[in-house]
Amino acid sequence: MKLLTVGDSFTYGEELADRNSAWPQLLASKLNFEVVNLGLPSASNDKILRTTLDYLATDSADLVVIGWSNIGRSEHADEFGYYDVWPGYQGAIFERDGFNWRNELVDYVSRYHNSEAIHRKWVQQVVLLQSYLKLRGIRHVMLNIVQNEYYKKKHFDGQQQFFDQVDRDTFLGFNQSGMMEWTFGKPQGPNGHFLEAGHEIVAKKIYEHIGNFGWLS
Give the model's pLDDT for residue 143: 97
Tens of pLDDT, residues 105-134: 888 998 998 888 888 899 999 999 999 999
pLDDT in tens, the chain (217 residues): 999 999 999 999 999 999 999 999 999 999 999 999 999 999 999 999 999 999 999 999 999 999 999 999 999 988 888 989 988 887 776 776 677 778 888 889 989 988 888 888 999 999 999 999 999 999 999 999 998 777 776 766 666 777 888 999 999 999 889 999 999 999 999 999 999 999 999 999 999 999 999 887 6
Helix (H, G, I), strand (E, B) or coil at 116: helix
Give the model's pLDDT for residue 26: 98
DSSP 158: G
Q: Which of 215, 204, 217 has its CA nearest to residue 63?
A: 215
Give the model's pLDDT for residue 217: 65
Give the model's pLDDT for residue 80: 81
Q: Which of 183, 172, 168 has its CA nearest to residue 206?
A: 172
Give the model's pLDDT for residue 160: 75
Q: How far is CA 123 from the centre of its chain?
A: 13
Q: Which of 34, 46, 43 has its CA nearest to residue 121?
A: 46
Give the model's pLDDT for residue 105: 87
> 2-72+115-212: what fold?
Rossmann fold (3.40.50)
Start-end of CATH 3.40.50.1110 domains in the chain: 2-72+115-212
Give the model's pLDDT for residue 164: 86
Beta carbons of 105 and 85 less than 8 angstroms apart = yes
